[in-house]
Structure 1
Amino acid sequence: MKEKIIISVAILVAALSNALGDHHKNNSHLSRVEGVWIEEKFQEPEHFKSGFYKIIAGGEHRVLAIKDGILQWMHGGSVSYDGKILTEKPHYSTKGNDFPGQTLTFSVERKSDYFDQKGIPGSGSFEELSEKWNKVGDSEDSIEGSWIRELDNGRIMVKIIVDNFWQWVAVNPATTEVTASLGGSYSLEEGVYTETTHFRSKDNANWELGSQWQVEAKVSEGKLHFSGENQNGNDFVETWEKLDHNNHRYQTITKGRASILDFQRWCNAHQGLWMGEVTSVIGEDAFGTKKGSYTAYWQFELLEGGRVGSSRFSGNGKSGVGHTYYDPAEQEIVQINISSDGTIARSTITPDGSDWARQTTHTKPDGDQSQLSSNLTIDEGKGNITILISGKVGNEQITGQKNVWHRQHR
């Protein structure tokens, strides 16, 4: 069932309006810090050719380091702001940048045309940071926001347009690495959109800085359409989808395939201590044969480095341990649980729309195996995970066994 990755664009954190329109009409606290900003110590007379920039638009953030028209490094992902604390969750970056999978929190106070950003003691990262970010430009164009599209080679393109600034990045969803990028300034006059390139990634060596791209631009039904003629004189239409974090559309949506972004989203959603009244769980020998229910607990944490999740289970007089990791070759999330009674459950997990599909090989201590299918629905707002499990264990047919877990704390 492996199909092409369908991209959409985050995670998960900032509440966005589904209505189209410019970012200034967003009534959330986040709108106060949306736009293009340059760190004061790196202020340059000519914008977007050199400097240290922070871009925030449509629930998406980026931090860019540019020198002489070459993108030195960057990271980007989802962002939220409650009026005091800015939370950045990088999901992709240039090679060698280890920010993806981390959560970065800063104290931010917006002033007139700048904001102060400071580290938070005890946050674990950038605690001594103290920066001043100055506003660059301002506009209220209908095409502003964050947009995504999929390339034929499976790369994800994420484009930000805000305050006369534009940038697209191409991301390898299996590694979260930014493989190519262009950016600069734009103008929009009577539907004619003109981009001027001021910087490029190191991989775009053949792209001429200062070159322009002119097309007609139109926003319709949540999509941004660019139309014009290509270099061969043929008509083309390039379509981008609107970013929508509320529906998890920032994450790569797949059927039968997962990305490292999905792994990060899975781990983030499972973090913490959980309690449930369960009939049985896939990691125990008696699964599918028990009646009634019992109280169980399990705890999940992402280990240092952000590549492996560790879990512990206890209930009904038994315990278990588990590990969750991402398999880049198979493009699957893999979970292995081992119970104190000797039962082993090996599962592969992939996104299924906004839910998750889990396929499990259940191996009893005597070597008997069963195949189980599960549907998992995660309600992060309520802190619930609902699991429906089906399959055949021995002579027992299981259909839609329901376990509900409630988060106790992160």
Structure 2
Amino acid sequence: MKKLSFKLPALITINLLIISGFTISNKNIKIDIHPHFGAWDLVSYSTDGTDAFKDAKVVKIFSNGHFAITAYRQDSKEFVGTMGGTYLVEGETVKETIEFSTWNAEEVGNTYSFSMKMKGKTMTLNSNDSKAVFTWKRIDKGVNQGATLAGAWRIRERERNGEMSAMKRGPRKTIKILSATRFQWTAFNNETKQFMGTGGGTYSAKDGIYTETIEFFSRDSSRVGMSLSFDFERKGNDWHHKGKSSKGKPIYEIWGLED
């Protein structure tokens, strides 16, 4: 394990907590319900590093095995930064492996360790390599609430010229993580450490209609505040997503459940 730097973005990765375990097969994904699944809002923090989150809203989401954390300023529609990846739990220790980071791409591939304490709707995370401490307040409980689409999804098919085209699995990924009420998609290549873009906010999924309200978008801040509705259907571990993009272009995608 590489030593954790004192930079705030690296330390903040703590956000994604824990599960005791999960299994993935071609047909079934078993989720061990854990109290830390869901979305969290950063309420306080202390660190020896630079304050990269002043006046920013910081939200993290974690599924059965993936996490994402993003900082943004709502009033100015400014995207501040994001990072995320995979995580696991060993006893009371959370180990997070970075797959993308806009703050420091050189951290991709590194694993950082944190201890965790839960009390009511509050979660406190302490870096095991420094004096950094982060306190989070629960937004929702993710899969614990039985949300239809809560989890981590990876796009696997997309319609092109009227035909569905399979996306080859590899280091280039587009992952979308949903809690019960929040979402974030991110496109990245964890092999080249390249970040392509991210967007997120709140969503609802009811009666076959999936609606997103964008709160941050790294590529175009003018999209912030937009609400987009799509037809959706979940078929086993596949999510069929059809409608129009924020640019008004028709889309039909199939996302596969990662965890």
Same fold (TM over 0.5): yes
Q: Map of 1:8-407 to 2, 5 A cutoff?
A: 15-18=21-24, 19=28, 26-27=32-33, 31-41=34-44, 50-68=56-74, 69-94=77-102, 96-120=104-128, 125=129, 127-138=130-141, 139-149=145-155, 155-201=172-218, 203-205=219-221, 207-228=222-243, 236-243=251-258
CA distance in 2, matches of 1:102, 1:14: 21
The 1:35/1:237 distance shift into structure 2, 3 A limit, reads: same
Contact 2:94–2:116 (8 Å) recurs in 1: yes
Q: Secondary structure at the match of 2:22?
A: coil
Q: Deviations over 1:90-121 (max 9, x none)?
A: 1112263432121111110122111111122x
Give the stretch that moved more between structures: 136-145 or 98-107. 136-145
Q: Cα distance, 1:26 vs. partner? A: 2.2
Contact 1:191–1:218 (8 Å) recurs in 2: yes
Q: Cα distance, 1:233 vs. partner? A: 8.7
Contact 1:171–1:180 (8 Å) recurs in 2: yes
Unmatched 5+ residue regions in structure 2?
A: 1-18, 46-54, 159-166
Q: Deviations over 1:160-201 (max 9, x none)?
A: 011200110111354222221110000112121100001111
Q: Cα distance, 1:15 vs. partner? A: 3.2
CA distance in 1, matches of 2:154, 2:251: 17
CA distance in 1, matches of 2:105, 2:245: 35
Q: Deviations over 1:203-227 (max 9, x none)?
A: 334x421111111222223211112
Q: Deviations over 1:242-265 (max 9, x none)?
A: 115xxxxxxxxxxxxxxxxxxxxx
CA distance in 1, matches of 2:229, 2:89: 35
Q: Secondary structure at the match of 1:101?
A: coil
Contact 1:188–1:194 (8 Å) recurs in 2: yes
CA distance in 2, matches of 1:91, 1:40: 25
CA distance in 1, matches of 2:215, 2:255: 22
Report what 1:325 is aligned to.
Answer: none
CA distance in 2, matches of 1:223, 1:156: 17
Q: Cα distance, 1:231 vs. partner? A: 8.3
How many residues align? The count is 213
Report what 1:401 is aligned to.
Answer: none
CA distance in 1, matches of 2:181, 2:42: 18
Q: Secondary structure at the match of 2:107?
A: coil
CA distance in 2, matches of 1:214, 1:57: 23
Contact 2:68–2:184 (8 Å) recurs in 1: no
Contact 1:216–1:228 (8 Å) recurs in 2: yes
Between the two proteins, what is the percent identity of the paired residues? 22
Q: Deviations over 1:351-410 (max 9, x none)?
A: xxxxxxxxxxxxxxxxxxxxxxxxxxxxxxxxxxxxxxxxxxxxxxxxxxxxxxxxxxxx
AA paired with 1:190? D
Report what 2:3 is aligned to.
Answer: none
CA distance in 1, matches of 2:210, 2:104: 34
Contact 2:59–2:70 (8 Å) recurs in 1: yes
Q: TM-score, normalised by structure 1?
A: 0.47
Q: Cα distance, 1:75 vs. partner? A: 1.2
Unmatched 5+ residue regions in structure 1?
A: 1-12, 43-48, 245-410
Q: Cα distance, 1:234 vs. partner? A: 8.2
The 1:14/1:83 distance shift into structure 2, 3 A limit, reads: closer
Contact 1:14–1:59 (8 Å) recurs in 2: no
The 1:213/1:82 distance shift into structure 2, 3 A limit, reads: same
Q: Deviations over 1:45-78 (max 9, x none)?
A: xxxx941222211210122221233331221111
Report what 1:284 is aligned to.
Answer: none
The 1:67/1:234 distance shift into structure 2, 3 A limit, reads: closer
Contact 2:63–2:179 (8 Å) recurs in 1: yes
Contact 2:68–2:177 (8 Å) recurs in 1: no
Higher RCO (CA-CA < 8 Å; seq separation 6+): 2
The 1:233/1:113 distance shift into structure 2, 3 A limit, reads: closer
Q: TM-score, normalised by structure 2?
A: 0.71
Report what 2:52 is aligned to.
Answer: none
